[in-house]
Amino acid sequence: MTTVYFIRHSIRFDKEKIKARKTEDTIQQIAEKDILSIEGEERAKYLTTLKELENLDAIYTSNCPRTLQTAKYIMDKQDLPVTIDDRIDERRIGIPNVDKYPDWFVRQYLDENFKTVGGESQKEVRSRVEDFMSEILNQHKNKRVAIFTHGYVITFYLMRHLKFISVDEKQRITFEYKDKLFFDRKLDAPEIFKLEFDEDNNLVNIENIIINY
């Protein structure tokens, strides 16, 4: 059995505390440079206490600082190196067009091809993540792997394996698995999903690991 943990990064630093940005960075570059808040660091450190995440064999993160910052405490405790892979980077947001699409958050879940100019669609994100996962499952057969990534990456990938029920403007997402309610809230930070695959890389079970801080 191969076990893969999809872990959303911890809490970001509050952007409202940034007085000004004297930079030519694009909105995408700014988003990619987000760091963790103090509480986010504390939550990331708390992950080292979870028995579920003990005895890992490999750790992967996206190319964004906040995922590596979330993973670093487990890396240190278990003396594991990390592989950074941009195929699990967050969805590219493109040019903001909230005026044209005020329902953009809901729309991107209902229409897999919806995207802003210069951005990525649900389908495009899932394509690169599935390519990544194919490689992971073949390289780490019967191992335990932690993947520190982002909310869209996780939910868009899981839409292949869970039954998508609904989403609302408050970012509450509802999924069913095996005809039972599986998830019905906004993603937390961190958020953990445990996926188990058989010898043929077929998914046999998914769990949402609840963290009690």
Got the DSSP string for 103-128? Answer: THHHHHHH-TT---TT---HHHHHHH
Q: How confident is the model at residue 6, as a pLDDT?
A: 98
pLDDT tens per residue, range 62-72: 999 999 999 99
User: Quick check: 193 and 5 in contact, CB under 8 A?
Assistant: yes
pLDDT (mean) for 3-22? 79
Phi then psi for residue 17, to 5 deg, are -85, -5
CA gap 108, 97 in Å, rounded: 13
**Cβ of 142: how many Cβ atoms within 10 Å?**
10
CA gap 5, 191 in Å, rounded: 10
User: Which superfamily is assigned to 2-209 in CATH?
Assistant: Phosphoglycerate mutase-like (3.40.50.1240)
The amino acid present at 203, given as its one-letter code, is: L
pLDDT (mean) for 85-113? 87
Residue 134 to residues 108, 129, 138, 211, Cα–Cα distance (Å): 24, 9, 6, 28
Answer yes or no: is pLDDT of 26 > 80: no
Q: How confident is the model at residue 29, as a pLDDT?
A: 60
Answer yes or no: is pLDDT of 97 > 80: no
CA gap 132, 61 in Å, rounded: 12
Query: Is the pTM of the predicted complex or chain greater than 0.85?
Result: yes
User: Quick check: 180 and 168 in contact, CB under 8 A?
Assistant: no
